[in-house]
Amino acid sequence: MFYYEAFVYQHNCNWSSLYGLFLLLLKTIKILPLICTFIHACVCVINTALQCESVRKIQSDRIDLSTRMRDMEQKLQHERQDHRDLIPKLKVKACLYAFVYLALCQEELRKEKREREKMEQDNDATISDLLHKLDNMETHYEKVLHDTLDSLSSQLSVARQRWEDNSTALHQNYKGLLSEFGLNALDI
C-alpha cells in the first residue's frame, strides 16, 4: 500500500480532495532531477567544447609547424642545388632559424597551456558554484515538500474532526427521528 493510500485510509479522507495535492507534489518532485540533469549536461558540454577547442588549436599549430619546416627544407634543397659553396653557411642559417622558431613555438605552447589551465580553473569554479546552487535548490524543494505535507496533514485533521462532528450530529438526528416513530436505533 502506498504512503498516500495509507494516509487516506488512516484519516478517512476522500481521494478527490488529495488528488490535486498529490499531482502538485509529483510535479515538484519530478522537476528536481530534470534540473540536475540539465545542469550536469551543460557542464559536460562546456568542458567538451573547451577541450576540443584547445586540441584543435594545438593540432593546427602542429600542422602549421610541420608545413613551415617542410617549406624551409625545400628552400634549403633549392639553395644547395644553386649554390654548392654556400651549403655550410645555409646549414648554420637553417639551424638558427629552426632554433629560433622552435623557441618561439615552445613559448607559444607554454602560453596556450597557461590559458588552458586558467580556463580549467574557471570551469571548475563554475561547476563548484553550480553544484552549490543545486544543493541549495534541493534543500529548498525539500523544505517546500515538508511544509506542504505538514499543511496537508493539519488540513486533513481539521476536515476529519469536522466530518466526525457532522456524522455525530446526523446520527443523533436520525436516532431522534427513529425514537419519534417508536423505533429503537439499536434494533435496526
Distance, CA of 46 to CA of 124 (rounded, Å): 11
Distance, CA of 100 to CA of 167 (rounded, Å): 99
Distance, CA of 48 to CA of 52 (rounded, Å): 6
Whole-structure pTM value: 0.35
For residue 92, with 0-12 CB atoms within 10 Å meaning exposed, 13-18 middle and 19 or more buried, which class applies? exposed
Asked whether residue 51 carries a pLDDT value surpassing 90, the answer given is no
Report residue 8's pLDDT band, with 50, 70 and 90 as the boundaries: very low
pLDDT winner (highest mean) among 16-25, 37-46, 50-59, 69-78: 69-78
pLDDT of 179 = 84
Which three-class secondary structure state does DSSP give residue 188?
Answer: coil
pLDDT of 151 = 93
